[in-house]
Amino acid sequence: VDKVDDGARKTQAGPITIEGEVDRIYLDVTGEQVIDDESLGRKIHITSRGYSTAVVWNPWSKIAASMGDLGDDDYRKMICVETANAGPETVEIAAGGEYRLEAIFTLSS
């Protein structure tokens, strides 16, 4: 679900690349997500339980300029990857209820 493109449903083919504003919800996510951080020569592995979607976000230059916690070019050096139950796959929790979502981050070279 591409929130930058009015919620259009699209299919991702290949690795995610960032070349502009990105705000997407990936549905039916299973297994491990990997961020290939070439600048630092590492991979960030995200293993999760209790989720079915992943949110990938980068504000790019226009939105980043209005954010006090990002420097001028910081948007080029960041990516937000969230394990979630977002969009059409939200989870309703009754009053007094509980829900557990876990994310484990590990690094490799």
In a domain, 60, yes or no: yes
Under 8 Å between Cβ of 82 and 76: no
Tens of pLDDT along the chain (109 residues)? 999 999 999 999 999 999 999 999 999 998 899 999 999 999 999 999 999 999 999 999 999 999 999 998 999 999 999 999 999 899 999 999 999 999 999 999 9
Residue 7 lies in a domain: yes
Is residue 46 one of the residues assigned to a domain? no
Q: Looking at the domain assignment, is residue 38 inside a domain?
A: no
Q: How far apart are CA 21 and CA 108, in angstroms?
A: 27
Structural domain including 74 reads 3-31+52-92
Rounded CA-CA distance 64/21 in Å is: 10
What number of CA atoms fall less than 13 Å from residue 52's CA on the CB side?
Answer: 9
42 domain-assigned? no
CA angle 101/42/64 to nearest 5° reads 70
Q: What letters, b where the CB count within 10 A reaches 16 and e where it falls short, cover 8-45? A: eeeeeeeebeeeebbbbbbeebeeebeeeeeeeeeebe
Whether residue 99 lies inside any domain: the answer is no
Query: Is the residue at 58 inside a domain?
Result: yes
